[in-house]
Amino acid sequence: MQREAEKSSPRIEVVPAAREQEPVIENLLDLYAHDFSEFHAIELRPDGRFGYKNLSLYWRDPHRHPFLVRAGGRLAGFVLMKEALVVSGKEPIRDMTEFFIARGFRRQGVGTAVARKLWERFPGRWEIRVMEANTSAHLFWQRSIAEFTGFEIESVRTEKARQAWRLFSFDTRRKS
């Protein structure tokens, strides 16, 4: 069942970002990093930007995918995802590396619609990491995954670089 906000949300587009749109994603990454700085110590560079290491890989590596998000024709965010082969199998795991919806588009069903579009476009095994301190993001992913798959997925606590994360692992082809 769709939430009321999702029924009235604007038309959502998830468009592959062209190489010449890298500066747009760089700008959005600074907004994303600013939001993230509430939960993680991220320092501004001397030029007043946060920066993002190796962003250009998303246009050079065929297993990485940069997307721009539009809602009602307006720029609303971005997604960076990658596919990686797992040692234990031949099938890749899709990793929602970075996911950002601008504040003015949140709580309107935009993020859930974007996730759904990506899961439909790249069916299979997915992993989504959320900083443990970011409880609103954890609730968003828990709800969005459950709405898509039809069942609850419990996140697992993990640590990386002395930072606590919650990890969701699921297969978008497995639905109730």
Is the domain covering 4-124 a CATH 3.90.230.10 domain? no
Q: Read off φ and ψ for residue 3, nearest 5 degrees.
A: -70, 160
Q: Using the predicted structure, report yes or no on whether residue 2 has a pLDDT greater than 50.
A: no
* Nearest of 20, 17, 128 to residue 75 by alpha carbon: 17
Q: Supply the pLDDT for residue 6.
A: 44
In the chain, domain spans: 4-124
* Residues 105-118: tens digit of each pLDDT: 888 889 999 999 99
DSSP 8-state class, residue 7 = H
Residue 18 CB-density burial (10 A; 0-12 exposed, 13-18 middle, 19+ buried)? exposed
The answer to whether 104 and 9 have CB atoms below 8 angstroms apart is no
pTM for the whole structure: 0.85
